[in-house]
Amino acid sequence: MYRLLIVDDEITMLKGITFYLQENKDYELLTASDKRTAIQLLETNEIDLVVSDLMMPKVQDGLEVIKSAKKQWYQPSILAMTAFETVENAVNTMKAGADDFVSKGFGIDELMLRIDNLLTKKMQMHQLAVENLILKETIQHHYSGFQIIGKSVQMEDLMNKVRKVAADAKATCLIEGESGTGKDLVARTIHSLSKRRSAPFVPINCAAIPVNLIESELFGHEKGSFTGAYSTRQGKFEHANGGIVFLDEISELPLQLQNSLLRVLEERNFYRIGGKRAIEVDVMVLAASNKDPLKQISLGRFREDLYYRLNVINIYIPPLRERREDIQSLAHFFINKFNQERKKNIKLTKSAIRILEEYDYPGNVRELRNILEDAFVFCNTQWIRPENLYIKSIDNHSKNIRNEHIEKILPRGIENLAHKKALEIFEKEYFLKLMQLHSWNAKKAAHHAKLTREWLSKKIKALGLQKCEE
């Protein structure tokens, strides 16, 4: 739907043009018969194309309308009309900012053709701007060095889920995981694999925007809607139309705005601050949180209805300590990346890899990357050895936790068994108690343990666990 503003002080001409244009159902028409009304409509509406008489009743009035249109933030296309076709008028009109110029001796077919050409050009320019933005983000993302790396069962299940969500490209999805696990990376991967990849990916960190600005940041505002609103501004949801909005740190969103977000998710439209017209958007919403939303609900900090509206699909990213088999692949990936960037050929010794695999990584993949980059920068040889790894809390974090709780966690006498056998016994007891706790409801058990249902079902089958019939 295109919004056109027709401006002419000759009422007969104004009605005639409007009569023919209204047959096109893709046009929403606004009209003005004087300069003041035209400028007011330009300042209070988003116009795609202005068709304005130049002599209204004098040339200066027509030029002021064109100049006002040119100043608007939404940049409408401008077609000027005049009954007196002179070189001077044409030059003045183009200098004022008109995109095309036509004599009032035109036939209606010529007018329609010029209008269609200008609207097509405007659409192409908009598409080009979107493509440039996407290209810029793609290049930045490509050289950021982040990829989903891992061959563990958990990561294979994660990627299967990511691919299915991307193929759907519509359902709202909540991405959960500890800080540093790569929630932003998962969101960007969904975008790059989906049919929405040609439209914008708009990340919004809900914790980083001041409370008094976040509503305007999300939904935009109209000129004069509050002190300091000197012009109309589009919000992030408008920028993302056709693409994906990624709401990071969603649990930090103020309660008063959670209701507004819920409305957008349910009705797919919103109002700018001070706006009177509902703006419709087609966006896929991804949200992420490193805090347990259910706990935030119990504390009164998060709306329960919003949680269930966001949690249509849940993707849980396991912490690095639960998929240690991925540590070596990640470590080599980061070292290769640093070598390419610095044009070096530094490698990891096997003993350094063993040290890395023993650490629990409270900061997850981000911490692993930082540890390796620190070692890379200060390494004076071709090899990174254990002494190059600055893991300041390996003893305090990993070993103390194990020592404090080992007797409570492990079955009695398990420490006397071989590692493989001990692990088998522990897993059987853990998963048996987990399933019993949730009455053998795999979905609830998986959610409680922060695992995927598919992975849990495979694990239960592999361990040979069955529900005992009473």
User: Are both 341 and 311 inside the same structural domain?
Assistant: no
CA neighbor of 368 nearest in space, from 312, 326, 414: 326
Taking the CB of residue 19, how many other CB atoms lie within 10 A of it? 10
Which residue do the tokens 């409370």 mark?
211
| C-alpha separations of 10 from 87, 266, 400 in Å | 23, 46, 86
CATH of the domain at 98: 3.40.50.2300
CA neighbor of 54 nearest in space, from 97, 117, 13, 7: 7
User: Are both 188 and 248 inside the same structural domain?
Assistant: yes
Task: Flag whether pLDDT at 291 surpasses 80.
Answer: yes
Task: Flag whether pLDDT at 417 surpasses 60.
Answer: yes
> In this predicted structure, what is the pLDDT of residue 4?
95
Taking the CB of residue 102, how many other CB atoms lie within 10 A of it? 18
User: Are both 279 and 342 inside the same structural domain?
Assistant: no
> In this predicted structure, what is the pLDDT of residue 410?
56
31: left (phi > 0), else alpha (psi -120 to 50), else beta?
Answer: beta
CA neighbor of 126 nearest in space, from 90, 170, 74: 74
**Tokens read off for 199:** 């439209």
> In this predicted structure, what is the pLDDT of residue 398?
42
The CA-CA-CA angle for residues 98, 101, 103, to 5°, reads 145
CA 251 to chain centre: 16
User: Are both 180 and 314 inside the same structural domain?
Assistant: yes
Bridge partners of 205, per DSSP, are 248
Q: Which residues of 135-148 are buried (b: 16+ CB within 10 A; e: fewer)?
A: eebeeebeeeebee
Q: How many residues does the chain have?
A: 470
User: Are both 336 and 354 inside the same structural domain?
Assistant: yes
CA–CA distance, 45 with 277 (Å, rounded to integer): 9
Average pLDDT over residues 190-199: 92
Mean pLDDT of the chain: 85
Give 1-21 pLDDT, tens digit per residue. 789 999 999 999 899 999 989
Kindly indicate the confidence band of residue 160, based on its pLDDT and cuts at 50, 70 and 90.
very high
Task: Flag whether pLDDT at 352 surpasses 70.
Answer: yes
CATH of the domain at 393: 1.10.8.60
Q: Which of 377, 399, 421 is the last residue of a domain?
A: 399
> In this predicted structure, what is the pLDDT of residue 101?
83
Task: Flag whether pLDDT at 93 surpasses 70.
Answer: yes
Give percent of the chain with pLDDT exceeding 70: 88
384 contacts 349 by C-beta, under 8 angstroms: yes
Domain count for the chain:
4
If you ran DSSP here, which 8-state letter would residue 468 be given?
P
The DSSP string of 390-431 is --TTIIIIIIHHHHHHHHHHSPTTGGGS-HHHHHHHHHHHHH
Q: What strands lie across the sheet with 284-289, from one edge to the other? A: 201-205, 244-248, 284-289, 173-176, 313-316
Task: Flag whether pLDDT at 233 surpasses 90.
Answer: no
CA neighbor of 153 nearest in space, from 398, 457, 386: 457
Which stretch of 122-136, 205-219, 236-250, 358-372 has the lowest confidence by average pLDDT? 122-136
CA–CA distance, 8 with 54 (Å, rounded to integer): 8
> In this predicted structure, what is the pLDDT of residue 288?
95
Rounded to a whole number of angstroms, the CA Rg of the chain reads 30
SS3 200: coil
User: Are both 291 and 169 inside the same structural domain?
Assistant: yes
CA 190 to chain centre: 10
SS3 385: coil
Give 39-72 pLDDT, tens digit per residue. 999 988 889 999 998 888 788 888 999 999 998 8
Residue 242 belongs to some domain of the structure:
yes
CA–CA distance, 272 with 225 (Å, rounded to integer): 9
Kindly indicate the confidence band of residue 433, based on its pLDDT and cuts at 50, 70 and 90.
confident
| C-alpha separations of 85 from 6, 104, 106, 380 in Å | 19, 8, 11, 78
User: Are both 180 and 291 inside the same structural domain?
Assistant: yes
CA–CA distance, 250 with 256 (Å, rounded to integer): 13
Taking the CB of residue 164, how many other CB atoms lie within 10 A of it? 13
Task: Flag whether pLDDT at 468 surpasses 80.
Answer: no
User: Are both 284 and 395 inside the same structural domain?
Assistant: no
Phi, psi (deg, nearest 5) at residue 468: -80, 125
**Which amino acid type is present at position 142?**
H
CATH of the domain at 425: 1.10.10.60
User: Are both 160 and 114 inside the same structural domain?
Assistant: no
Task: Name the pTM for this structure.
Answer: 0.60
Residue 33 belongs to some domain of the structure:
yes
Residue of higher predicted confidence among 412 and 192 = 192
Task: Flag whether pLDDT at 401 surpasses 50.
Answer: no
Which stretch of 116-130, 220-234, 366-380 has the lowest confidence by average pLDDT? 116-130
> In this predicted structure, what is the pLDDT of residue 326?
93
> In this predicted structure, what is the pLDDT of residue 395?
44
Task: Flag whether pLDDT at 102 surpasses 80.
Answer: yes
Domain span at residue 314 reads 144-318
User: Are both 63 and 183 inside the same structural domain?
Assistant: no
Residue of higher predicted confidence among 431 and 422 = 431
Residue 135 belongs to some domain of the structure:
no
Residue 70 belongs to some domain of the structure:
yes
Residue 133 belongs to some domain of the structure:
no
If you ran DSSP here, which 8-state letter would residue 386 be given?
G
User: Are both 418 and 454 inside the same structural domain?
Assistant: yes
**Which stretches of 182-326 are DSSP H helices?**
183-193, 214-219, 236-239, 255-267, 293-298, 304-310
> In this predicted structure, what is the pLDDT of residue 95?
79
Residue 110 belongs to some domain of the structure:
yes
Residue 51 belongs to some domain of the structure:
yes
Residue 130 belongs to some domain of the structure:
no
Contacts of 156 (CB under 8 A, 6+ apart): 150
Q: Which of 399, 429, 453 is the last residue of a domain?
A: 399
CATH of the domain at 269: 3.40.50.300
Give 371-395 pLDDT, tens digit per residue. 999 999 999 899 999 989 988 644 4
CA neighbor of 453 nearest in space, from 126, 51, 157: 157
> In this predicted structure, what is the pLDDT of residue 412?
60
> In this predicted structure, what is the pLDDT of residue 406?
46
Average pLDDT over residues 90-115: 82
72 contacts 233 by C-beta, under 8 angstroms: no
**Which amino acid type is present at position 188?**
R
> In this predicted structure, what is the pLDDT of residue 86?
63
Residue of higher predicted confidence among 462 and 65 = 65
> In this predicted structure, what is the pLDDT of residue 403?
46
User: Are both 304 and 345 inside the same structural domain?
Assistant: no
Average pLDDT over residues 212-220: 88
